[in-house]
């Protein structure tokens, strides 16, 4: 979008949009703050390396973390990192311009993973798995070089739910994306501060903030069809059964291993007559299930109502 178009669009923001944008900002801030606190994602003295891809999620993550840093009760530093994978048409100046404008510490890492992936993977095959592995290794190495103590990724609540269903449908596993995890070698801690944020909120926020989005299809890879199918399934449910997504996300935070079937999580063989095992729900097999939704009803209606044209233009570049 040209600068003049941007300015015109900004000027068109109504008072109501501005008011609702503030509400949306507060909600994202609150959600990120809650996730950080619930999982102790950031601690005093941390240096958080924010991985910035140029997509809506990572821009939002950086923006909200920078904002939270201003009023956080602890001190932590932020360094933004972008991996320039040398995809054809990658606009090299977009992120440096943006980051210089913010005046924060950043590093652009240039590694031709695109070339490696194209060389190793036959034409027409999915490239994302190798590409992600290479990217992960480079980001871990960069975190060590920069002295970062946490690596922040921009995955959000909907990514986590999609991953849950992908693993169930195609991998036979009850497994999502953790809000916090440690790398295999134990040297890096990865955090996902957007874990409680809805993709819809992030999308609206990115439109409103006019982040200079870099298209994510520069590598020419086909979108992951399985993920797309799951995404559409969740979006359909969201339209048909409002609240279901929130309830499912609550389920991720409310797991009862004794009522699943994984003997490595719960020792079913230990169950004996006449014994009370602390920490399990006990026998509710004959009780009526309490199906009161567990999720907090967020102030959904307070999102900025952007025009269709604004959202469509955003989706075209994202
Ligand atoms: S879409 Fe392209 S850049 Fe992204 S992970 Fe897949 S291969 Fe890599």
Read out DSSP for 1-19? --HHHHHHHHHT--HHHHH
**Atom 6 of ligand 1: nearest residue by CA position:** 128
Q: Which atom of ligand 1 is nearest to the CA of 132?
A: 5
Which of the four pLDDT bands, split at 50, 70 and 90, describes residue 317?
A: very low
Q: What is the pLDDT of residues 264-301, one digit of tens each?
A: 999 999 888 887 766 666 655 566 666 665 554 454 44
The residues near 50 (Cβ < 8 Å, ≥ 6 apart) are 58, 61, 62, 65, 78, 79, 80, 81, 152
The pLDDT assigned to 306 comes to: 53
Cβ-count burial 58-77 (b if 16+ within 10 Å, e if not): bbbbbbbbeebbeeeeeebb
Residue 21 CA to chain centroid, in angstroms?
A: 20
Tokens linked to 300: 């959904």
Which of the four pLDDT bands, split at 50, 70 and 90, describes residue 184?
A: confident
> Using a 6 Å cutoff on CB, does residue 132 contact ligand 1?
yes
Question: Is 216 marked as binding a ligand?
Answer: no
**CATH no. for 15-217:** 3.40.50.620
The pLDDT assigned to 208 comes to: 93
Question: Which of 95-99, 115-119, 294-298 has the weakest average pLDDT?
Answer: 294-298
Which of the four pLDDT bands, split at 50, 70 and 90, describes residue 85?
A: very high
Tell me how far apart the alpha carbons of residues 27 and 19 are, in angstroms, rounded to a whole number: 13
Catalogue the long-range contacts made by 224-230 (C-beta closer than 8 Å, 24 or more residues apart).
224/126, 224/128, 226/166, 226/169, 226/170, 227/162, 227/166, 230/162, 230/165, 230/166, 230/169
Unique residue bearing structure tokens 């497994």: 175
pLDDT over 60 (residue 165): yes
Unique residue bearing structure tokens 């797309």: 228
Determine the 3-state secondary structure of 124 from DSSP.
Answer: coil
The H or E element spanning position 150 is strand 150-152
Q: What is the pLDDT of residues 102-113, one digit of tens each?
A: 999 999 999 999
In the chain, the percentage of residues whose pLDDT exceeds 70 is 83
**Mean pLDDT (whole number) for 301-305:** 48
Unique residue bearing structure tokens 């040297």: 187
The pLDDT assigned to 3 comes to: 47
Q: What is the pLDDT of residues 10-69, one digit of tens each?
A: 556 788 888 889 999 999 999 999 999 999 999 999 999 999 999 999 999 999 999 999
Q: How far is the CA of 3 from the centre of ligand 1 (A)?
A: 29
> Using a 6 Å cutoff on CB, does residue 127 contact ligand 1?
yes
**Paired sense of beta strands 189-191 and 180-182, if any:** antiparallel
**Atom 7 of ligand 1: nearest residue by CA position:** 128
**Mean pLDDT (whole number) for 71-78:** 96
Q: What is the pLDDT of residues 216-227, one digit of tens each?
A: 877 877 777 889
Question: Is 261 marked as binding a ligand?
Answer: no
Tokens linked to 269: 């063989």
pLDDT over 80 (residue 8): no
**Mean pLDDT (whole number) for 241-258:** 96
> Using a 6 Å cutoff on CB, does residue 131 contact ligand 1?
yes
């Amino acid at each position: 979008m040209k600068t003049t178009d941007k300015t015109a669009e900004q000027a068109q923001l109504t008072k109501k949009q501005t008011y609702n944008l503030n509400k949306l900002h507060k909600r994202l801030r609150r959600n990120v703050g809650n996730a950080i606190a619930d999982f102790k994602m950031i601690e005093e003295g941390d240096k958080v390396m924010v991985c910035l891809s140029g997509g809506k999620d990572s821009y939002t993550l950086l923006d909200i973390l920078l904002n939270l840093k201003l009023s956080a009760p602890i001190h932590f530093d932020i360094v933004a990192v972008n991996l320039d994978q040398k995809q054809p048409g990658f606009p090299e100046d977009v992120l440096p311009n943006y980051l210089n404008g913010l005046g924060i510490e950043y590093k652009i890492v240039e590694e031709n993973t695109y070339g490696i992936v194209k060389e190793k993977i036959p034409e027409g095959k999915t490239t994302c798995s190798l590409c992600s592995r290479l990217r992960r290794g480079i980001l871990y190495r960069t975190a060590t070089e920069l002295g970062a103590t946490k690596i922040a990724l921009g995955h959000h609540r909907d990514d986590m739910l999609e991953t849950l269903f992908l693993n169930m449908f195609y991998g036979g596993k009850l497994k999502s994306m953790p809000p916090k995890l440690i790398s295999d070698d134990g040297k890096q801690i990865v955090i996902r501060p957007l874990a409680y944020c809805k993709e819809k909120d992030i999308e609206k926020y990115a439109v409103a903030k006019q982040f200079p989005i870099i298209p994510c299809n520069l590598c020419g890879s086909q979108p992951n069809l399985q993920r797309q199918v799951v995404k559409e399934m969740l979006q359909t449910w969201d339209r048909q059964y409002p609240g279901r997504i929130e309830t499912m996300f609550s389920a991720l935070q409310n797991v009862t291993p004794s009522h699943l079937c994984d003997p490595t999580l719960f020792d079913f063989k230990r169950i004996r007559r006449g014994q009370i095992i602390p920490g399990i729900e006990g026998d509710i097999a004959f009780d009526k299930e309490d199906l009161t939704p567990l999720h907090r009803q967020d102030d959904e209606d307070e999102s900025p109502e952007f025009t269709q044209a604004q959202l469509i233009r955003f989706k075209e570049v994202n």
